[in-house]
Amino acid sequence: MEIRTRFAPSPTGYMHLGGLRSALYNYLFAKKNGGKFLLRIEDTDQSRFVEGATEVIYSTLRNVGIVWDEGPDIGGDFGPYVQSERKDSYLPHALQLVESGKAYPCFCKKEELDARRAECEARGEIFKYDKHCLHLSKEEAKRKMESGEPYVIRLNVPEKGEASFDDVIYGHIAVDCADLDDMVLIKADGMPTYNFANVVDDHAMRITHVMRGNEFLSSTPKFNLLYDAFGWDKPVYVHLTNIMRDERHKLSKRDGDAYFEDYIKKGYLKEAILNYVALLGWNPGDEREFFTLEELVQAFSIEGLSKSQAIFDVNKLTWMNAEYIRMLSQEDFTAHALPYYKDAGIDHMDKSILQKILQPRIETFVQIPELVDFLTAIPEYELELFTNKKSKTDAEVSKAVLDMVLPLLESLPAWEETALHDALINLAAEKGMKNGTILWPVRIALAGKAVTPGGAIEIALLLGREEALRRLYIGRERLAAQ
Ligand code: GLU
């Protein structure tokens, strides 16, 4: 039997990391087993329609390389793959159940039911529809339907027994039918309820395995009554454990850290996010942590899914991101860094030097502007910075060094690495000084900061001749004036 999995998002406008994880696991499982991965858009609740939301789903999945074999844009044998475009298929299914006595039309007025529900809830009881319309005769029901009286179609839930299913992660899940309401399958406007459409489509699209968030765990026994009513085979259910911010709190949109987009904006690489998300609730059974998508396909198995909830550790993601940044080629690093260079106002500076000094240091790209702020404007700095034991410098030595360095650098025919390097290092040799004794004051005068990415020569090159010399002069003047 061909394995067929699906990702069935409701378009909300964002991609929650939990959603991305569901998509990924479904994709990996299908690909690992030579099956098909489908994308289905669950948009029956048109009141929650968000402009552009489907685009976010497409672009996020494409961005991370999760490619669907059947879906809204490419079609397939079981399309359309957008529920609102399938709306005519649900009513006939519901009528089929009415015909076989497994469902029935209900003409009770919404306002009356709402009032009864409110009364019930006020008494602290759970409202359950009393099957009033189940007892209408077939003829009576038919007459009402034909006369245009508004109705919904409800499932006739057995009054006794239990509804249950076996989940791969959570085991046997059962609920007492006596606790279940006769759920609505088709609403008064003819549209299916979310649950009904979900089940009808999973069957119609020949889905064999459903992996999704555990928020559906408790309603799945109820959905399964539908499979029984139709006499359909049920898919294998794998409900995934929650992704938590800490022991007690779910990763939530309120904290600004639940969406894929949040991390892209914070300068994380999509490969690192995907890799980290893969490990939230799954492990390969060995110590490996770094996986390309292709490697995940090879390594994935349902047995590797965890039964305990996953804690989202942003420090771990950040560490992983830093490792991914180190692995980038020079060109890729620069391509990723460019928007941040622009932000920092340094995009006119030498990209290969920037890459050399930043790639080993940053954990996320957003750190760039702060790290290089001294390149665009020299900070106000204390003259104490010139004092450094290891380099054997203090204010006096620094002033003497800058006195020697300035004419030397001014007379350089070309402002380039070897020339700057030779000038400064030869000077140290000539004067019998440590290299650091020359380089420290130069770097402090150039950067106005004790800690900088890059050394004196790199900074001088980035600043360019004019600005570098200007800063060295200022340093010398300030030292002379104290
Ligand atoms: N449409 C549901 C959601 O976006 C997913 C339902 C399912 O996977 O069965 O949460």
Mutate to test the pocket of ligand 1, among 201, 216, 227 (most ligand atoms within 8 A of CB): 216
**What is the predicted pLDDT for the residue at 151?**
97
Those residues with Cβ within 8 angstroms of residue 284's Cβ, 6 or more apart along the chain or in another chain: 291, 299, 304
Q: Which atom of ligand 1 is nearest to the CA of 194?
A: 1
- Gap between the Cα atoms of 158 and 26, Å rounded: 33
**What is the predicted pLDDT for the residue at 288?**
96
Q: Which atom of ligand 1 is nearest to the CA of 6?
A: 8
Instruction: State the distance from the centre of ligand 1 to the C-alpha of 454, rounded, in angstroms.
Output: 49
Instruction: State the distance from the centre of ligand 1 to the C-alpha of 184, rounded, in angstroms.
Output: 18
What number of other Cβ atoms are within 10 A of residue 344's Cβ?
19
**What is the predicted pLDDT for the residue at 249?**
86
Q: Whose CA is nearest to atom 2 of ligand 1?
A: 9
Residue ranges of the chain whose pLDDT lies below 50: none
Instruction: State the distance from the centre of ligand 1 to the C-alpha of 194, rounded, in angstroms.
Output: 9
Instruction: State the distance from the centre of ligand 1 to the C-alpha of 61, rounded, in angstroms.
Output: 16
**What is the predicted pLDDT for the residue at 251?**
84
**What is the predicted pLDDT for the residue at 246?**
86
> What residues flank ligand 1, with Cβ below 6 Å?
8-10, 42, 198, 210, 212, 216
Decide if 253 is catalytic. Answer: yes
- Gap between the Cα atoms of 398 and 404, Å rounded: 10
- Gap between the Cα atoms of 363 and 269, Å rounded: 10
Calculate the alpha carbon distances from 202 to 91, 237, 469 in Å.
16, 12, 70
**What is the predicted pLDDT for the residue at 304?**
96
- Gap between the Cα atoms of 80 and 84, Å rounded: 9
Phi, psi of 17 (to 5 degrees): -60, -30
